[in-house]
Amino acid sequence: MRTSRIAQDTSRLVSALATNRTPPRRSLRGRSFAEVDNTLPNQNGSSTEAGSRKRKRGSNVHSSVTKIETSERDSNRIPESTAEVAKSSRARKARRQPAKKVVDNKGDVKIEPPPGWEEVYKLTQEMRSKIVAPVDEMGCEALALKTASPRDQRFQTLISLMLSSQTKDAVTAAAVKNLQDNLPGGLNLESILAVEPNTLNEFIGKVGFHNLKTKYIKNAAVILRDSYESDIPDTIAGLTSLPGVGPKMAYLCMSAAWGRDEGIGVDVHVHRITNLWGWHKTNTPEETRAALEAWLPKDKWHQINTLLVGLGQTVCQPVGRKCGECVLAERGLCPGAVVAKGTKSKKLVNREVKIKSDDGGDVIKEETEEVVEQMEIKAENVEDVGGESLAEDIEDIGLARRGSRQSRIAKIDESRL
């Protein structure tokens, strides 16, 4: 049935009026805080339910409402907002900011150190001063007998470093002590030249690749006698020319035996931790050494090895890093820190809020607020990484890792010597 245009217009008008009707007034009992706020008296003494739109146009009713009392039922202090809690308590994680090349006005290229590296270094020193690591008591620099002659002390330091490859500090220290106590005349060049290879192999039988190291030590002793006047070389080139001695051992030996810092001894811990810190992005120990020597002050070249080896042995281990015990992770200075993901702890806190209006009336509102507690920095789960510890203390990273195909081949070749 068709309707006239007048009837259609009338129907639209009635529909529009019906949608704009003001809802009936209700009592304050059982209404929400926002609704109670909208029914407070205006400047004329009458109440309105038109909502916040009218107040925004000039009424100052909202400014007359003040919180005069907040009583917490929870013993903890409640921050102003949940968003503030989440922002302030989130475990921070530093950005990777490696050293970078900078060209000055003269066109010279120099390396600018990583931002904040001094703070990281200082905090690491403070942390290490409270931790006794195996390298502090059984490191290769501490194994030479103080009662021996300077020449024999240098030789003992070299032998300790040669034995330390792929071997824990405690095992290396025991092997060196065995040589010092049982070799006729003690541990010196003449004793090594005189001892039979099989006997020497028995003395060092608990160190990694002892058969290969026996051959290296015997050959090196002959070279020292014939080419270096029965002393160890005083140059990096001379030290690395010895069988079984790589750059890491050479730089450490030069510092410990001759007291000259000509380079940084980079082992697995120095290589791994400085990359975790974001100081550089390197793939090999030699790349790490070159990157560090380009900007690290020379007075720290010798110290950084013991500093980071001890940290890697106790806190920042290759597997199972204890980031929860590290001050660098706590202060958000380590980009490689292991932080809990998706495990925000939440709790509900009740509190009462009393508000007062212009007419002196009080309205009490009970609120329940969800508070996000601090995200925790956790220790790395060893089981998640395979459960096998790879933390050789001072090892020559030029050698293959144990368990790999290259390592098995090396053991086969070693057994044929």
Give me the active site residues, please. 248
Instruction: State the CB neighbour count (10 A cutoff) for residue 118.
Output: 11
Strand spans (E) along 43-103: 66-72, 100-103
Contact 371, 85 (CB under 8 A): yes
| Spatial separation of the C-alpha atoms in residues 207 and 26, rounded to whole Å | 87
| Spatial separation of the C-alpha atoms in residues 258 and 146, rounded to whole Å | 15
Helix and strand counts by DSSP (H, E) for the chain: 18, 5
Strand spans (E) along 329-375: 346-356, 362-372
| 259: its two tokens | 């007291």
Output 250-258 pairs: Cβ under 8 A, ≥24 positions apart.
251/289, 252/140, 252/141, 252/161, 252/305, 253/157, 253/158, 253/161, 255/301, 255/302, 256/140, 256/141, 256/157, 257/153, 257/154, 257/157, 257/158, 257/232, 258/154, 258/234
| Spatial separation of the C-alpha atoms in residues 19 and 140, rounded to whole Å | 88
Task: Compute the 3-state secondary structure of the chain and give helix, strand, coil in percent, each to the nearest 5.
Answer: 45, 10, 45
Amino acid identity at 348: L
Around 373, how many Cα atoms within 13 Å sit in the side-chain half-sphere? 10
Describe the crossing of helices 210-227 and 405-415 by its angle, rounded to 10 degrees: 70
| Spatial separation of the C-alpha atoms in residues 310 and 306, rounded to whole Å | 6
